[in-house]
Structure 1
Amino acid sequence: MTFVLVVDDDPAICRTLAINLRARDHEVETAGDGRSALQIIDERMPDVVLLDLGLPDIDGISVLKQLRSFSQVPVIVVSARSEPDDKVEALDLGADDFVTKPFSLEELFARIRVAARRAGAEEPGLPIRIGDLDLDLGDWRAVRGGEEIHLTPIEWKIVAALARKQGRLVRQGELLLAVWGPGYERQTNYLRVHLASIRRKLEADPAHPRLFVTEPGIGYRFAAHD
């Protein structure tokens, strides 16, 4: 099930999109301003974001900039702004697509499907159980002994990128590209910091990790042990 976040200050548009997306078996949350959208994203990363540019607090461009600082989640801008400069700016900042209002619902849903496929969001979630630890990559949930463990969106992206290649080496540059996008392939310190946090949260013995294994100078691998 694809999780779509609709960010628009028009309640009628939010309501229409939510009803129609749910009718197509999507999970939906809506936000009427940029700060609410970023709070939702911090709590749980969507599979696709539909983003209006004309928001009442921080505008959509600012939301896009902040989002792209830590995630490559597909973003489809849905805006009444139709000037070429607006489209170019949004796309240059990392938007995946731009749809001008008024729009055809069927065309928008087709674009959502394309964005979700491109990001792999429509692949089944990968449930993993190791001892008393349960990881559900579809719902982004980690539970140990019935107690939920909070991971940040960046931590989830790292866990998912490694777990989906279970047992295989993921090189540092490949992992940085998957999580942060182009231009970060040399920022290996990012990985060290976030992997240390992931191990503290998910490893039974963080000082001697058995799940998230470092291959020094090369990369990391997820080595699930029963």
Structure 2
Amino acid sequence: MTSQTKILLVDDEPEIRSMLSIFLGVEDYDIIEADSGKAALRQIIGAKPDLIVLDLGLPEMDGQEVITAVRKFSNTPIVVLTARSDDSETVKALNAGADDYVTKPFRAEILLARIQANLRQGKTVSEPDAIDNGPVHMDIGRHEVRLNGTLVAFTPKEFALLEFFVRNRGRMLTHKQILKEVWGPAHTDDTQYLRVYIGQVREKLATVPGLGQSITSESGIGYRMELLTAAVAVAAE
């Protein structure tokens, strides 16, 4: 990354902003800050950051309100940084338009990985004919999946589910987001249906040893397909 990549840190605790500014500054990000929800909106409009790290518990304007407001005019990636332990708050933030979340207390390297994953995702503006995540290669036009170069058959719905995961690799997706995208708005409560298909996709990915575990779950929230490298997957064979 270069200093041209701009990150907005939104947190009402100066100590956290200072710590993150130092840590992310070492990674050559250009850091700007806001200590309230309203200040965050002013920075988003004026400075146009490439990514937002957002606390939920903010003065003047709650983080949930900030997400809703931002999504009316911007698709800038939002990584929620929260101390709120209620899963429903996290799900609400993700469904409102946040792209990922990290809970406090947090490990700096985990936050950095989430930031990098969402910055990469944000740069994907076109719809390529083929997409990859490490050893997973999907030819969209041919409707084919290759795992480490080997063709593996996926049903149309399994293919659509895997495609959604690969396009959003590294990002947490709620049950509602996945069901709405793959099955449509009428199926957003069919979580049992989703679990069945997740199991089927994992089973087919597992033809490469260890690859079935690349789709991880968080109870009450949703699923994430981890960012993979071909080298790691091949070594796992």
Give TM-score scaled by structure 1 length.
Answer: 0.53
In structure 2, the partner of 1:119 is 122
After TM superposition, list the pairs within 5 Å mapping 1:30-109 onto structure 2: 30-109=33-112
Q: Offset of 1:91 from its aligned partner? A: 0.5
Q: Offset of 1:44 from its aligned partner? A: 2.1
> 2: distance between equivalents of 1:68 and 1:47?
14
C-alpha deviations, 1:187-220, integer Å up to 9, x for none?
A: xxxxxxxxxxxxxxxxxxxxxxxxxxxxxxxxxx
Q: Offset of 1:69 from its aligned partner? A: 0.5
Out of 7, 12, 28, which is 1:9 matched to? 12
Q: Which amino acid in the other structure matches residue 117 of structure 2?
A: V
> 2: distance between equivalents of 1:86 and 1:17?
23
After TM superposition, list the pairs within 5 Å mapping 1:55-204 onto structure 2: 55-120=58-123
Count of aligned pairs between the two proteins: 122
What 5-or-longer segments of structure 2 have no aligned partner?
Answer: 125-180, 182-237
Q: Which runs of 4+ in 1 moved over 3 A?
A: none
Q: Which amino acid in the other structure matches residue 51 of structure 1?
A: L
In structure 1, the partner of 2:148 is none
> 1: distance between equivalents of 2:6 and 2:85?
27
> The residue matched to 1:78 in structure 2 has which SS?
strand
> 1: distance between equivalents of 2:7 and 2:111?
12
> 1: distance between equivalents of 2:81 and 2:13?
12
Q: Offset of 1:82 from its aligned partner? A: 1.8
C-alpha deviations, 1:112-149, integer Å up to 9, x for none?
A: 0000000119xxxxxxxxxxxxxxxxxxxxxxxxxxxx
Identity %: 43
> 2: distance between equivalents of 1:98 and 1:22?
20
Q: Which amino acid in the other structure matches residue 102 of structure 2?
A: V
C-alpha deviations, 1:98-118, integer Å up to 9, x for none?
A: 111000000100110000000
What 5-or-longer segments of structure 1 have no aligned partner?
Answer: 122-181, 183-226
> 1: distance between equivalents of 2:51 and 2:14?
19
> 2: distance between equivalents of 1:59 and 1:43?
20
> 1: distance between equivalents of 2:85 and 2:120?
26
CA root-mean-square deviation: 1.3
> 1: distance between equivalents of 2:59 and 2:43?
17
> 2: distance between equivalents of 1:12 and 1:101?
13
